[in-house]
C-alpha cells in the first residue's frame, strides 16, 4: 500500500485507489473492537495506547495505515498518534515475528550474563536489535531486541518472549528456548501466562481476552517466589511497616533556608 505521510502538515493520505485495501484490513470487526476500547474511557483520546496494541494485533506492527486508523477513531492528528507510537518501545514500526524475544541487557542482567545471552542469540539468528529472523508473522519467525530493565533483577539474567518471563537464563538455556520456538514449540514461561504468539498478546494488551491462552493469562500470577519472599517472612512474623502519621513535618524548601 503506497502512502504519503507529511508530518509537517499532520496530513496522512492513503491514495484513494487503495482505500479499499485499508478498509479490508480495518474491517467492521476491528472497528467494533475499537469502539469497545474507546467506550471504556471518559475521553476518547485516552484510548490511544490500547488502540495501538489493537493495531499491532491486526498487522503485527504499527503501520502508517494503523496510525491513520487510530487518528480517525479518536479524532486526533496523525502526527499526534505517530508521536506516541514512536515514543514507546512496545510499539513496533517494523513487522514483528511470530515471537518477540526481548533480552534484558540493563546493568544487573548484563553483569550476570545478559550481554552473552544477547550475543549468542544474535549470532544464532543472524540478526541484530529489532531485526527478524524468518518472514515476519510466519511460524518460527523471531524478532530479537535489547530490553531495558524488565523489573526482575532478582532473577537475572532474564528474557521475555512476547512479554512472558524466562528467569535465571544463561546463553545455553536461552539458545534452547529460541531453537524450540523455531521448531514451532511454545516452551512454558518460568511464571505467569502460557506462551502464545506476539499478535495474540497484543490483543490481550488491547484488553481482549478471547484468543489462544487468554483465559489462563487472565488468571495467571506473575509473582516469583524470590520476589515475594520478604513479604512472606514479614507476614509469618506479623511484621508491619509503621503507620503513616496523619501529619508529617516536611523539610524546608531550598529557597526558604
Pairing verdict, β 11-14 and 3-6: antiparallel
Query: Distance between CA 34 and CA 22 in Å, rounded?
Result: 15
Least spacing, CB of residue 144 vs ligand FES, in Å: 16
Least spacing, CB of residue 111 vs ligand FES, in Å: 9
Answer whether the bond into residue 157 is a cis peptide, omega within 30°. Answer: yes
With residue 56 as reference, give the H or E element that holds it. Answer: helix 48-59
Query: Distance between CA 60 and CA 214 in Å, rounded?
Result: 18
Give the CA angle between residues 109, 114, 120 to the nearest 5°: 175
Least spacing, CB of residue 154 vs ligand FES, in Å: 8
Nearer to ligand FES, 76 or 144 (CB): 144
Q: Does 153 bind ligand FES (CB under 6 A)?
A: yes
Query: Using CB under 6 A, which residues numbered 156 to 185 contact ligand FES?
Result: 156, 158
Contact status, residue 132 vs residue 141, Cβ threshold 8 Å: yes
Q: Does 195 bind ligand FES (CB under 6 A)?
A: no
Query: Using CB under 6 A, which residues numbered 84 to 143 contact ligand FES?
Result: 104, 106-109
70 is in an annotated binding site: no
Least spacing, CB of residue 158 vs ligand FES, in Å: 5
153 is in an annotated binding site: yes
Three cell numbers written together for 75? 479524532
Residues lying near ligand FES in the complex (CB under 6 A) are found at 104, 106-109, 149-153, 156, 158
Amino acid at each position: 500500500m503506497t502512502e504519503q505521510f507529511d508530518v509537517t502538515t499532520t496530513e496522512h493520505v492513503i491514495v484513494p485507489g487503495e482505500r479499499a485495501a485499508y478498509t479490508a484490513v480495518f474491517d467492521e470487526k476491528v472497528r467494533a473492537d475499537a469502539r469497545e476500547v474507546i467506550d471504556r474511557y471518559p475521553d476518547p483520546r485516552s484510548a490511544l495506547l490500547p488502540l495501538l496494541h489493537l493495531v499491532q494485533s491486526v498487522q503485527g506492527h504499527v503501520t502508517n495505515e494503523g496510525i491513520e486508523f487510530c487518528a480517525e477513531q479518536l479524532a486526533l492528528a496523525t502526527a499526534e498518534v505517530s508521536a506516541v507510537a514512536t515514543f514507546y518501545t512496545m510499539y513496533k514500526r517494523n513487522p514483528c515475528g511470530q515471537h518477540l524475544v526481548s533480552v534484558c541487557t540493563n546493568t544487573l542482567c548484563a553483569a550476570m550474563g545478559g550481554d552473552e545471552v544477547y550475543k549468542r542469540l544474535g549470532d544464532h539468528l543472524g540478526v541484530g536489535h529489532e531485526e527478524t529472523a524468518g518472514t515476519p508473522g510466519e511460524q518460527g519467525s523471531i524478532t530479537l531486541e535489547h530490553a531495558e530493565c524488565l523489573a526482575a533483577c532478582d532473577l537475572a539474567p532474564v528474557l521475555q518472549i512476547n512479554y512472558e518471563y524466562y528467569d535465571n537464563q544463561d546463553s545455553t538455556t536461552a539458545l534452547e528456548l529460541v531453537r524450540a520456538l523455531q521448531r514451532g514449540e511454545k516452551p512454558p514461561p518460568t511464571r505467569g501466562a502460557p506462551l502464545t504468539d506476539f499478535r495474540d498478546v497484543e490483543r490481550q494488551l488491547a484488553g481482549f481476552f478471547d484468543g489462544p491462552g487468554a483465559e489462563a493469562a487472565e488468571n495467571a500470577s506473575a509473582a516469583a517466589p524470590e520476589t515475594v519472599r520478604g513479604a512472606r517472612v514479614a507476614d509469618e512474623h506479623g511484621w508491619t511497616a509503621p503507620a503513616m502519621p496523619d501529619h508529617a513535618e516536611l523539610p524546608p524548601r531550598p529557597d526558604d533556608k
